[in-house]
Structure 1
Amino acid sequence: MERPAAAGPATGTKHLDIFVDEKEPRNGIEALLKELRPFWQPTEVKLKTFTDGITNKLVGCHVDEAMEDVVLVRIYGHMTELFVDRSNEVECFQVLHAHRCAPDLYCTFQNGICYKFISGTILNMWMLREPSIFRLVAKEMAHFHSVQTDNCYPTEPILWKTLSKYLTLLNTSLPMPTSHVRVVSSAMAGSWICRHCHRFGRWCLISSMEIDDLPTLDILVSEIEVLKEHLSQVKSPVVLCHNDLLCKNIIYIETQGLVKFIDYEYSGYNYQAFDIGNHFNEFAGVSELDFSMYPPKEMQVEWLTSYLRAYKECTGCEPVVTDLEALKLYVQVNKFALASHFSWGLWAVLQARYSTIEFDFLRYARERFKQYFKKKDETLALQLPP
């Protein structure tokens, strides 16, 4: 199970050839800690499972009651390698750590990573709305977006590549798991015709589950074309983005008066306005979506003004923000918030197909697509200020 440590997927990262069983993680975690914390006695190690993740399993490991030294073990979710570039995640982690945006990355292992625990308060939907907090979030996002990577990454936005990958996975012919099989009569035993893509003798994900109120594959393809044509003209800068800034990925460190972002598996170069719009969508929560919590215009403008001021400081410009600049970013952000709904809707359908985590991904997909179509016409009609 274990071999000597070697260089990991990214230069300078220790890699341990250890597999951790997400259902029975103790043995695998002890093998990891033998390398990372050799002075810890296995019988004294305490494990704390964090249950709010919907992509991976996260376990905190410590021996002292004060939890002054905690190793976080993140076990990748089942089949998430299909839509998460794990090598890119590690590279982003290293770059962000070098710019004081990420904690220490201890190692990678066969199906996960280990890193330093950041002590603080995980934000909730109500804390996101507090001006004293959201100004800190805006400032940290500006810091994140200003990180320069010395040409280590392409500067093309990953949004369109991501949506294309999701669509390809949705339309790929793969063996159906028995838990998702739906019996459909046909002229040939064991064969059937997909009522969405009209293909005989194969299946597409959209039709393999009871999701009649989700868009068909043709509609999904058409909507991506509409989004790409419209948003490509919005001219949002391409920066290093987090791309998944929901509540649980923001840690408030009250004693230092700052926040830090965690979990970088979806990080990469993307549109500045997408990252902010995606964050605003997360004001609605995850388990029980409430889009009435989406920040109103006045709150957004205040948030965006704080962001622009900090971003200008981080990039060496005079930190003076005009009303016109804030209004322009407001329009850009709300347009890209549409793309956020669409992207996570596709992602949730894929997760429903592959994930072993207990979460109603199909309901989540329905809600994101519903909000997308509800806001589409109104949002696309927004005009950028001259």
Structure 2
Amino acid sequence: MQGDALGTQDVRDPVLLRLIATEMARIHAIHAHNGCIPKPNLWIKMRKYFSLVATEFTDQASNTRIREEVPSKEVLEKEMAWMKEHLSQLGSPVVLCHNDLLCKNIIHNLKEGYVRFIDYEYSSYNYQAFDIGNHFNEFAGMSELDYALYPSRELQLDWLHTYLKAYKRFTKKVEDVSQRELETLYVQVNKFSLASHFFWGFWALIQAKYSSIDFDFLGYAVLRFDQYFKTKPNVMALKIPE
């Protein structure tokens, strides 16, 4: 595929973010389930990852870190159950999702003026708001997480308005995007961003045990869980408009 992988500054560019939002809407509008009502993969996958999380490592330093810096499995399981109960009631549509839209998985063809996504390893039917919230979390980067880069409300609303407008077009709906629709999606996305932290936190703990890649997966997991607990109070205070 011709083009360049994006970085954390690129996804904030006004032109590129609208291309990304439109491309995600196009994928979300694909119906590949032969008329069946698809079910979200999130909770099944998260539960599977949780069951594979290691609590003991071969080196003492990692054992100390996981005891001192990672919440206990009891706490994590309780939070996971709470998320499933709360987020499942938000009314986010289940659509075909990429589920791993980090910056480097977005290829920009400058000459042709479009973006395409790559690496569909984690794609599945999932909550619309999870896919978007997960992408917003990825604004912080991967190797050196900086959550100061998480998109502002203003930037999110710009992105989400473009997305909703495109999604309506791809699903052949003619009505304009209402303010209520926009605010509803904003709340859903930010709440599902919490689930994204847990999903990749579990993933990182598994990688910390079994991966041969030279990366501090344990440290990455710590940062994801920390961000979850840091942002949870403000995010949960958001209300879907009546």
Report TM bin, short chain. Answer: over 0.9
Contact 1:313/1:319 (CA < 8 Å) preserved in 2? no
Deviation at 1:151, TM superposition (A): 2.9
Match of 1:107 in 2: none
For residues 279 and 319 of structure 1, what CA distance do their matches in structure 2 show?
26
Deviation at 1:210, TM superposition (A): 2.9
Matched, 1:138 2:21: yes
For residues 151 and 359 of structure 1, what CA distance do their matches in structure 2 show?
41
Match of 1:294 in 2: 150
Alignment of 1:39-188 (within 5 A): 118-151=1-34, 155-170=38-53, 180-182=58-60
| Larger CA Rg, structure 1 vs 2 | 1
Deviation at 1:209, TM superposition (A): 5.8
Matched, 1:269 2:125: yes
Higher relative contact order (CA 8 A, sep 6+): 2
For residues 181 and 225 of structure 1, what CA distance do their matches in structure 2 show?
31
Alignment of 1:241-280 (within 5 A): 241-280=97-136
Size of the aligned set, in residue pairs, is: 241
For residues 203 and 76 of structure 2, what CA distance do their matches in structure 1 show?
13
For residues 315 and 297 of structure 1, what CA distance do their matches in structure 2 show?
26
Deviation at 1:169, TM superposition (A): 1.0
Deviation at 1:154, TM superposition (A): 6.8
Root-mean-square deviation over aligned CA pairs: 1.9
Change (3 A) 1:217 1:150: closer
Matched, 1:337 2:220: no
For residues 327 and 119 of structure 1, what CA distance do their matches in structure 2 show?
36
For residues 216 and 54 of structure 2, what CA distance do their matches in structure 1 show?
21
Instruction: Name the structure where helix makes up a greater proportion of residues.
Output: 2
Change (3 A) 1:258 1:153: farther
Change (3 A) 1:138 1:361: same
Change (3 A) 1:323 1:307: same
Deviation at 1:227, TM superposition (A): 0.5
Deviation at 1:182, TM superposition (A): 3.8
Contact 1:309/1:319 (CA < 8 Å) preserved in 2? no
Match of 2:77 in 1: 221
For residues 354 and 136 of structure 1, what CA distance do their matches in structure 2 show?
37
Q: Which sections of structure 2, spanning at least 5 residues, go unmatched? A: none
For residues 150 and 164 of structure 1, what CA distance do their matches in structure 2 show?
23
Deviation at 1:137, TM superposition (A): 0.1
For residues 173 and 162 of structure 2, what CA distance do their matches in structure 1 show?
14
Write out per-residue CA displacement over residues 147-195 of structure 1, whole angstroms, 9 at most, x where no aligned residue: 11143987111110011101111269xxx77xx2449xxxxxxxxxxxx
Contact 2:22/2:166 (CA < 8 Å) preserved in 1? yes
Matched, 1:367 2:194: no
Write out per-residue CA displacement over residues 191-210 of structure 1, whole angstroms, 9 at most, x where no aligned residue: xxxxxxxxxxxxxxxx8463
Contact 2:54/2:206 (CA < 8 Å) preserved in 1? no
SS in 2 for 1:255: coil
Contact 2:54/2:209 (CA < 8 Å) preserved in 1? no
Question: Which of the residues 215, 219, 233 maps onto 1:377?
Answer: 233
Instruction: Name the structure where strand makes up a greater proportion of residues.
Output: 1
Contact 1:125/1:285 (CA < 8 Å) preserved in 2? yes
Write out per-residue CA displacement over residues 78-125 of structure 1, whole angstroms, 9 at most, x where no aligned residue: xxxxxxxxxxxxxxxxxxxxxxxxxxxxxxxxxxxxxxxx11011111
